Amino acid sequence: MIDAIDVSMVDWSRAQFALTAICHWLFVPLTLGLAVIIGVMETMYYRTGNEFWKNTVKFWMKIFGINFAIGVATGIILEFEFGTNWSNYSWFVGDIFGAPLAIEGILAFFMESTFVAVMFFGWDKVSKGFHLASTWLTGLGATISAWWILVANAWMQNPVGMEFNPATARSEMVDFMAVATSPTAVCKFFHTVLSSWIVAAVFVVGVSCWYLLKKRHREFAVASIKTGAWVGLAGALIAAWTGDGSAFQVAQQQPMKLAAMEGYYEGEEGAGLVAFGILNPEKKTAADGVEPFLLRIEIPKMLSLLAERDADAFVPGISDLQEGGYVQKDGTVALSVEQKMERGKAAIRAFSDYRTAYKSGDEERMKIASSELRENMPYFGYGYINDAEELVPCVPLTFYMFRVMVILGGYFLLFFAVVLFFVYRKDLTAVRWMQWIGIGTVPLGIIASQAGWVVAECGRQPWAIQDMLPVGAAVSKLDVGSVQTTFFIFVVMFVVMLAAELGIMYKSIVKGPEV
């Protein structure tokens, strides 16, 4: 099956999906975070009755609306690509993957669409209390929407609550709550949403610092900085904690991703965490004998502590995961990649035998094939792998992007703390260098957010669904030329959309809040 797929078509389909996902995620974090900041500001208006807060809310609400509209447009394209470019994936797991997306559309998006109209057009038409509730419910709807989308993504990282039905050749959900509340989904949701608070807070602080540099709307700018910085600081503090939980889940469910995140080839007990490192570009495979680092500074035993909650625990590296033979936590001996590939091929053969027996009505043969399939099903996806090296993600990309995310996360903690210090203890309106830093920090929020998704998605390659379905078997059988054509159409379309959004946003910012 996988041999019939043009490898270049797989790469182009991945590139098209990555392009759409990156563009979509330019807008979503700002929308999620601004919803919280706007809610806090309107709560201040509700409590004080001060028209200043109403005008402040209206300004940031305008920015929210711009991002909300374009985020919806790019999100719809993203979901359609599952059917056009990844039809094998959609067929194989559509009964499971489609459920959270359907709930997101029926419940969360409906909720957003209902209350967003009141939020934008209900001023002076409904009571202050109802309008405030509509603002918070719009934000809650956006957050619930993120929950179900992240549940779907988390299931791809850690498929639970399902069984494969050989009669229909589809994976079927058997435990909805296991899918909806898996530890991977919970950690991913909180970490992603809290990181969105940071992105929006950085944006609000940066735009407000621009007003201070221009000596315009100073009261508005200071009030916005206070609100944004407090939301950002809270988000950064809690995101650090949820990030630890996410890393622990990666260690348990996706050890190869963890090894790539650390440039970690040889497993050991009491493994150290790379605080700073420069990878050796000559290192190509685990068995090439080349040292993985040109420079490395480690925190002793920290990787074992974070990955296993035990400073002396064994953490497998890339070589161990390929070669197997080490004792796992449950006392079993880890299989090598070659053994997993053999069992995967046995699962595929058993599935083929079952289908043949099913069509001919041979129940005895169906029973034998079903038993063999169940025994080898955990390794089904490995049957489509032709080379063990395919199972190692791009180590440099994963390693460096992980550090970009972590380093910037630490920077944001410091940034918000310093901003709040200058706001409350000094006169931020007179500290021009800090205002410039505030403006310069805006793109760093987007970079950190995108880096996190690069780690999450590129770090699990080659899997579309971890251990179950590689991307080569998940893709649609299309003509590569059609995928290339639509890729470049999307490039043009997204550039135009981004330019339009930035232009509208720039005009809104230059105009400033109503006074």
Q: What is the pLDDT of residues 484-499, one digit of tens each?
A: 999 999 999 999 999 9
Rounded CA-CA distance 409/414 in Å is 9
- Per the listing, tokens 């079993």 go with 332
- Any idea which residue has 């500074």 for tokens? 297
Q: What angle do CA 328, 329, 335 make, to 5 degrees?
A: 20
What stretch of H or E contains 292? none
pLDDT score at 330: 85
Measured CA to CA, the distance from residue 259 to residue 460 in angstroms comes to: 11
Most confident of the ranges 108-117, 161-170, 213-222: 213-222
Question: Which residue reads 């898996």 in tokens?
Answer: 182
CA-to-CA distance for 84 and 251, rounded, in angstroms?
33
Contacts of 58 (CB under 8 A, 6+ apart): 123, 513, 514
- pLDDT score at 107: 77
Report strand pairing: 268-269 vs 314-315.
antiparallel
Model confidence at 116: pLDDT above 80? yes
C-alpha separations of 339 from 205, 408, 457, 469 in Å: 54, 40, 25, 17
pLDDT at 218 over 90: yes
SS3 275: strand
Name the percent of the chain lying above pLDDT 70.
Answer: 98
* Residue 282 to residue 395: CA distance in whole angstroms: 12
Q: Rounded to 5 degrees, what angle do the CA atoms 388, 376, 358 make?
A: 125
The DSSP result for 64-95, as a single string, is: HHHHHHHHHHHHHHHHHHHHHT-HHHHHHHHH
Q: Which residue has the higher pLDDT, 69 or 352?
A: 352
Residue 4: is its pLDDT beyond 50?
no
CA distance 64 to 58: 10
Task: Please give the full DSSP string across 139-203, using - where no structure is assigned.
Answer: HHHHHHHHHHHHHHHHHHHS--SEEEETTTTEEEES-HHHHHT-HHHHHHHHHHHHHHHHHHHHH
Report the C-alpha gap between 37 and 49 in whole angstroms. Answer: 18
pLDDT at 1: 41
Q: Provide the token pair at 455.
A: 């780690």
Query: How distant is the alpha carbon of residue 128 from its chain centre?
Result: 36
Number of Cβ within 10 Å of residue 5's Cβ equals 20
The pLDDT mean for the chain works out to 91
| Residue 2 pLDDT exceeds 80 | no
Residue 261 identity: M
Phi-psi region of 396 (alpha: psi -120 to 50; beta: other; left: phi over 0): alpha
Q: Residues in the chain, how many?
A: 515
CA distances from 361 to 67, 171, 253, 346 (A): 56, 22, 38, 22
**How far, in Å, CA of 452 to CA of 274, rounded?**
18
Q: Average pLDDT for residues 262-283, to the nearest whole number? A: 94
Band of pLDDT at residue 404, cut at 50, 70 and 90: very high
The torsion angle over the Cα atoms of residues 228, 233, 234 and 235, rounded to 10 degrees, is: 80
Q: Residue 515's pLDDT band (boundaries 50, 70, 90)?
A: low
> Average of pLDDT values for 217-242?
95
Question: What mean pLDDT comes out for the span 258-265?
Answer: 94
pLDDT of residue 168: 87
Cα 469 off chain centre by = 19
Which residue from 293, 299, 470, 275 is spatially nearest to 382, judged by alpha carbons? 470
Distance in angstroms (rounded) separating the CA atoms of residues 71 and 65: 10
**Token pair belonging to 155:** 């299931």
Q: What are phi and psi of 173, to 5 degrees?
A: -75, 130
Kindly state the average pLDDT of the residues 401-408.
96
What is the rounded CA–CA span in Å between residue 412 and residue 400?
18
**DSSP code, position 125:** T
Burial bucket for residue 265 (CB in 10 Å: 0-12, 13-18, 19+): buried
Q: Which two tokens stand for residue 138?
A: 């719009």
Cα atoms found within 13 Å of the Cα of residue 76, Cβ hemisphere only? 6
Average pLDDT in the 285-301 region? 91
Q: What is the pLDDT of residues 192-209, one digit of tens each?
A: 999 999 999 999 999 999
Chain-centre distance for alpha carbon 298:
27
Q: What is the DSSP letter of 399?
A: H
Residue carrying structure tokens 């041979």? 362
Across the range 179-198, mean pLDDT stands at 94
Distance from C-alpha of 157 to C-alpha of 464, rounded to nearest angstrom: 8
The DSSP result for 228-262, as a single string, is HHHHHHHHHHHHHHHHHHHHHHHHHH-HHHHHHHH
The reported pLDDT for the residue numbered 82 is 85
Per-residue confidence (pLDDT) for residue 284, from 0 to 100:
87
Q: Which of 104 and 451 is assigned the larger pLDDT? A: 451
Q: Phi and psi for 157 in degrees, rounded to 5?
A: -80, -35
Is pLDDT of 170 > 80?
yes
Q: What are phi and psi of 270, to 5 degrees?
A: 60, 45
